[in-house]
Amino acid sequence: MVLEEETPSTQKITTEDFSIPGQDSVYSKEEKSDRESQKFKVAKQTLYSSKKDAQEDRLILDLSILNSFIHCPHFKMLTMKEVKLLLPKDYWTVSIDLKDGYWHVGISKTKRPYLGFRYRNQDWQFRAMPFGLNIAPRMFTKVIAHVVKMMAEAGIWCLPYLDDLLIIASTREECIRMSELAISILEKLGWILNKKKSRLVPAQVFEWLGVHFDLVSHTAQASSEKVTCFQQKLRSVITSRFCSKRVIMQLQGQCNWISRCDPVVRLMMSETKSILRYFRRQDLDSPLELDRERRLSLCRWVTDISIPQTLGAPAPDIIVQTDASLTGWGFLIDRIPFSGVFDPSMAYSINILELLTVWYSLLMIAEEGAVIHILSDSLVAVSIVRRGTSPVHHLSALADLIWRRAALFRWTLSISHIEGNFNVIADQLSRKEALSTEWSLQHKDFQKNIGSKSQPGSRFVCDKSKLPTGELCISLPGRRRHSSGCSDNTVGPMGSPISVSPPPH
């Protein structure tokens, strides 16, 4: 096989003169290459060979200097969260892997000198888009978007994640037909398929992007291979006398990937970040010795307590609404109220008390496999529960307790923010005494006056400070809306008067 460099003085170079890792996957029968020899001076970068699997190597250029001069705008890319929302129950899938996807995208001749490197005293430059270029994922995503559009026009449902494609169909027969049609479209466009990594047999239980999907039970969790690799590296860090910042960063990267499907593993991020902050002045490969306390803090994640996460957007089985004040806590579990007071000696911030209230509410639930949705008017509490970590030790410890209880009972747990104006009842339950501007009908009075059974936690509430004119407007079942001054009376459905006068000041 012969390569000709595109220079005024053409020189033939045979592959017997050198050996570059992965060259068998680079050179084609048409004597074309993703690299070409270049006699002229080029931007020489360091060449890395990262193992892709047992047989193949991946060529990666160290383009960190070049990337600092290239602006890479944000772009839309398929995320694991979207995949979990889109995959329907009881459907069938086929996965297609594109071989050397980046190398299907050519590089302009004028830009090739910037992608040069030296190997065995010979200068080379890439003809195709290399790994390590900061705009490579964005450009490849835009290219593959046109392929997905052509598939959609042919009636194929395809989810693309860079060069990994997932074909989805409602039946096994339709999935086979759609996968064959998708392969024909890809081959016509010139894409090379990696048949060893592709899964062309339709399945409802499969692994894709390191995640184990089960469309029969409609759940997803981290694959056993990823979890095993993570635990082996974690045990190595704990048992070895010395480690490096690079190893800790690798462990944190694995933790970040697994945490997309296993929120319990996400809790370890606070520990690894703390270790990296402590050794921030050390070199990446300098030997570091972890103390006993830091090793013990990592031992909690050695065992597997993975939680299968429900796919899609399941309707919650239990809705929890929480609120806290500096004096007390209150929450509703499916409209059943609970309240209490904090110990006066607890001089914690309101953020800790809000998160503590969320923890109290989950202690009242013991149903296994439930889908629980929490509503809180504290943005800090919502953010910490979602991330599972915080720089503040108390908040991080409470998030750890919440997610470990969720793992124990195998809950699908979610939390969202609710405006304080819609969190009135939980807000009332969190305070020992009502505000001077706030008043409401008690449960027994409300039930007595309207002559019907009230829902637990139901009451009329009004905060007079929020009424610009001091007027009150309420609506009762079976009656027209009545607007009057605050000293007026309203007649209920059974003809009994309901006083809406606020208490005197």
pTM: 0.67
pLDDT at 77: 86
Contact 133, 67 (CB under 8 A): yes
pLDDT at 499: 36
Give the DSSP H/E element, type plus range, for residue 174. helix 172-188
Angle at the Cα of 477 from the Cα atoms of 472 and 479, rounded to 5 degrees: 70
Domain ranges of the chain: 2-214, 222-309, 313-425, 439-499
pLDDT at 443: 52
**How crowded is residue 150: how many other Cβ atoms within 10 Å of its Cβ?**
15
pLDDT at 359: 93
Cα-based torsion angle of the residue sequence 383, 389, 391, 395 in order, rounded to the nearest 10 degrees: 80
Token pair for 194: 């990696």
Beta-carbon contacts of 444 under 8 Å, excluding residues fewer than 6 positions away, are: none
- Kindly state which CATH superfamily the domain 313-425 is placed in: Ribonuclease H-like superfamily/Ribonuclease H (3.30.420.10)
pLDDT at 397: 86
Domains 2-214 and 313-425 share a fold: no
Split the chain (505 residues) into runs of 10 and give each run's mean pLDDT.
31 35 37 51 58 59 85 86 90 93 87 82 85 89 92 93 93 94 93 90 92 91 85 88 88 84 78 85 86 83 73 88 88 88 82 92 90 91 86 85 87 86 66 52 54 45 43 37 38 37 40
pLDDT at 206: 93
pLDDT at 375: 92
pLDDT at 53: 53
Contact 139, 129 (CB under 8 A): yes
pLDDT at 314: 83
Token pair for 37: 């020899």
Cα-based torsion angle of the residue sequence 161, 162, 164, 166 in order, rounded to the nearest 10 degrees: 40
From residue 102, alpha-carbon distances to 195, 200, 224 in Å are 17, 22, 28
User: Is beta strand 92-97 parallel, antiparallel or unpaired with respect to 199-203?
Assistant: antiparallel
pLDDT single digits (tens) 90-120: 999 999 999 888 888 888 888 888 888 877 7
pLDDT at 320: 93
| Region class of 457: left (phi > 0), else alpha (psi between -120 and 50), else beta | left
- Kindly state which CATH superfamily the domain 2-214 is placed in: Reverse transcriptase/Diguanylate cyclase domain (3.30.70.270)
Q: How far apart are CA 157 and CA 140, in angstroms?
A: 19
